[in-house]
Amino acid sequence: MRHFLDINTTDAGELRGIIDMARQIKAARRGRFKGAPDDDLPLDGRMVALIFEKPSTRTRVSFDVGARQMGAQTMVLSGTDMQLGHGETIADTARVLSRYVDLIMIRTYEEATLLELAEYADVPVINGLTNRSHPCQIMADIMTFEEHRGPITGKKVVWTGDGNNVCASFLHAAAAFGFDLTFTGPPPLDPEPGFVAEARARGAHIEIERDPFKAVEGADLVVTDTWVSMHDPQSARERRHNQLRPYQVNEALMAAARPDALFMHCLPAHRDDEATSAVMDGPQSVIFDEAENRLHAQKAIMRWCLGV
């Protein structure tokens, strides 16, 4: 049984195979009418549970559509439907769901919830996001970069802003896919030291540079994310805006990177906060390719988990 819990817990060769499968899935659908299912319906007869303790647009729609395109039926459950750990234990929930469904995707707050669910489930579990990591997003990001610029191995990626869960998964991916990663942001919002140390121990070249303009020199890809999370209190939001304003991705910052550098943002975005609309809608931006590729990458992840 294969869980997809994090990039750093999945073999690098398997990750490359998932990306290759995602590209094949996307190519096979190109030019078809919208909504056409995959020809062989690899998930026909399967039931996929999609659990959302955190609200979502892209994760919910892409997993739901992807599973349906492959012939599966889906059951979407909210945090209030499940009340994970507030009544029935997470372990018992995992045991029960395993009797009903073939695959579980969960988007939750605490990593411990994900890990306990996977420990006691008898079916594969996919990490749709936790407060610590977001591996499905980074698989789509790697796929998107390579569509536009070829292999990401040896390239320079710069993360600017908050060293959050998406940044953590980029650190995991730097070791798995062999690219260099520079973080630029204020010290209070650095990525977890353990994630940085692990990536370096696995051979990744990781730098922390406080000056964003120095950080993006020679960058092949510049990435940012929202400055505030949906669970942050108002006081934290105001403080983060003040801390992160120097790290906004604007036209001047992109001009300091390589001329052919790409810009990514996993969305949703607060336009003209973490990135200007001029950059988001500009020629270097691939944010909507990135959003689309969530569908294809996650279809490949589901197939990998189920071995089909």
Catalytic residue, chosen from 141, 240, 265, 266, is 266
**Secondary structure (3-state) at 267:** coil
Which candidate in 141, 162, 220, 225 is catalytic?
Answer: 225
* In contact, 150 and 175? CB cutoff 8 Å: no
Helix (H, G, I), strand (E, B) or coil at 164: coil
Which of 294, 298, 303, 305 does the annotation list as catalytic? 294
Distance between CA 301 and CA 307 in Å, rounded?
10
Q: In angstroms, rounded to a whole number, what is the distance separating the alpha carbons of residues 65 and 48?
A: 11
Specify the DSSP element, H or E, that contains 74.
strand 73-78
Q: Which of 137, 248, 284, 298 is catalytic?
A: 137
**Active-site residue, 225 included:** yes
CB atoms closer than 10 angstroms to residue 146: 17
For 14, list phi and psi in degrees, rounded to 5.
Answer: -65, -40
DSSP 178-189: T-EEEEES-GGG
Tell me whether residue 102 is one of the annotated catalytic residues: no
Strand partners, 4: 126
Whether 148 is catalytic: no
Asked about 298 being catalytic, the answer comes back as no
| Segments in the chain forming alpha helices (H) | 12-29, 58-69, 79-82, 90-100, 111-120, 135-149, 165-177, 193-201, 212-215, 234-244, 251-256, 277-280, 287-306
Residues 6+ apart with CB under 8 A from 150: none
Residue 241 a catalytic site member: no
Catalytic member of 29, 58, 107, 265: 107
User: Are 260 and 233 within 8 A, CB to CB?
Assistant: no
**Quick check: is 294 catalytic?**
yes
How many whole angstroms separate alpha carbon 300 and alpha carbon 256? Answer: 35
Active site residues: 107, 134, 137, 225, 266, 294
